[in-house]
């Protein structure tokens, strides 16, 4: 059984690898988001253990990208409950299971074995809010049945809003999810909300003053 561990904290990565190898798994380690994505795409792993907070690309982005590419390798996310992140978010993005740090190694092992046994499971890939319909796998977006062309960034912003609907999305969580570690001006989220309003209709996205944005149902 081959496992990929994507974790940027060296001690955590080493401890995981050691423990999993002792259980007979073949383990590869990647320590940032882009490396993890690349390895998960091409490595032929039986499962991936994926941290959320990673340099370069978050674990959310890694798992979402894999699912968009119809890659259903079982993914177990490791989440630290902090900031805007909710441990269950990973499931919305296409992870199969999650554990909150700190976790027991025995529990991790049991969950991983269950995932490997279950194997790759394709999941529903259509999001719908009001008259908006979005297919992550094919990047298709429709407004009241009419296809709309969105740039990749516009698509990611809309995807983020739809997955969290009816919650209000903060500017910070948008920046983090869509732009990750790129250094961009804080206004960029507002600019893209503006682009989306032009393409989808003014009234589809509400601004909640001082908080963020929300889709209207
Ligand atoms: Ca981390």
Judge whether 193 and 205 are in contact, CB under 8 Å.
yes
Closest by CA to 108, choosing from 28, 51, 62, 63, is: 51
Q: In angstroms, what is the span from residue 59 Cα to ligand 1's centroid?
A: 9
pLDDT at residue 56, rounded to an integer: 95
Q: In angstroms, what is the span from residue 215 Cα to ligand 1's centroid?
A: 30
Q: Which helix (H) or strand (E) holds 172?
A: helix 171-174
Q: In angstroms, what is the span from residue 8 Cα to ligand 1's centroid?
A: 5
pLDDT at residue 67, rounded to an integer: 86
pLDDT at residue 89, rounded to an integer: 60
In 23-42, which positions are buried (b, 16+ CB within 10 angstroms) versus exposed (e)? eebebbbbbbbebbbebbee
Q: In angstroms, what is the span from residue 12 Cα to ligand 1's centroid?
A: 9
The token duo for 184 is 């961009």
Q: In angstroms, what is the span from residue 90 Cα to ligand 1's centroid?
A: 14
The token duo for 135 is 């297919």
pLDDT at residue 125, rounded to an integer: 66
Q: Give residue 84's Cα distance to chain centre.
A: 14
Number of Cβ atoms within 10 Å of the Cβ of 116: 17
Q: In angstroms, what is the span from residue 42 Cα to ligand 1's centroid?
A: 22
Q: Which helix (H) or strand (E) holds 2?
A: strand 2-6
Whether pTM exceeds 0.95? no
CATH-assigned architecture of domain 127-215? Orthogonal Bundle (1.10)
Across-strand partners of 5? Answer: 29, 49
Q: In angstroms, what is the span from residue 195 Cα to ligand 1's centroid?
A: 32
Q: In angstroms, what is the span from residue 4 Cα to ligand 1's centroid?
A: 15
Q: In angstroms, what is the span from residue 130 Cα to ligand 1's centroid?
A: 36
Closest by CA to 215, choosing from 139, 153, 163, is: 163
Per-residue model confidence as pLDDT tens for the chain (217 residues): 999 999 999 999 999 999 999 999 999 999 999 999 999 999 889 999 999 989 999 998 999 899 888 898 999 998 775 555 555 566 667 788 888 888 899 999 999 998 998 887 766 568 889 999 998 766 789 999 999 999 988 998 998 899 888 989 998 888 887 887 677 787 899 999 999 999 999 899 999 998 999 999 8
Q: In angstroms, what is the span from residue 7 Cα to ligand 1's centroid?
A: 6
Q: What is d(CA 69, CA 138) in angstroms, rounded to the nearest whole number?
A: 8
Every domain of the chain and the residues it spans: 2-118, 127-215
Q: What is d(CA 49, CA 66) in angstroms, rounded to the nearest whole number?
A: 14
Q: In angstroms, what is the span from residue 180 Cα to ligand 1's centroid?
A: 14
Q: Which CATH superfamily is domain 2-118 in?
A: Response regulator (3.40.50.2300)
DSSP 126-145: -EEETTEEEETTTTEEEETT
Q: Which helix (H) or strand (E) holds 121?
A: none
pLDDT at residue 213, rounded to an integer: 96
Judge whether 101 and 82 are in contact, CB under 8 Å.
no
């Amino acid at each position: 059984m081959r496992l990929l561990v994507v974790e940027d904290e060296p001690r955590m990565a080493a401890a995981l690898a050691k423990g999993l190898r002792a259980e007979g798994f073949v383990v590869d380690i990647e320590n940032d988001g882009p490396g993890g994505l690349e390895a998960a795409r091409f490595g032929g792993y039986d499962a991936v253990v994926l941290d959320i907070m990673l340099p370069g690309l978050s674990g959310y982005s890694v798992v979402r990208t894999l699912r968009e590419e119809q890659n259903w390798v079982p993914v177990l996310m490791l989440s630290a409950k902090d900031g805007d992140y909710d441990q269950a978010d990973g499931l919305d993005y296409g992870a199969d299971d999650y554990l909150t740090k700190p976790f027991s190694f025995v529990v991790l092992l049991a969950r991983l074995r269950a995932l490997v046994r279950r194997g790759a499971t394709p999941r529903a890939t259509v999001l719908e809010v009001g008259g908006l319909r979005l297919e992550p796998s094919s990047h298709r977006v429709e407004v009241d049945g009419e296809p709309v062309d969105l740039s990749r960034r516009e698509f990611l912003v809309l995807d983020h809003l739809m997955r969290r609907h009816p919650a209000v999305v903060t500017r910070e969580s948008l920046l983090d999810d869509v732009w990750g570690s790129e250094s961009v001006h804080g206004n960029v989220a507002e600019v893209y909300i503006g682009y989306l309003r032009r393409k989808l209709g003014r009234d589809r996205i509400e601004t909640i003053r001082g908080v963020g944005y929300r889709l209207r149902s």
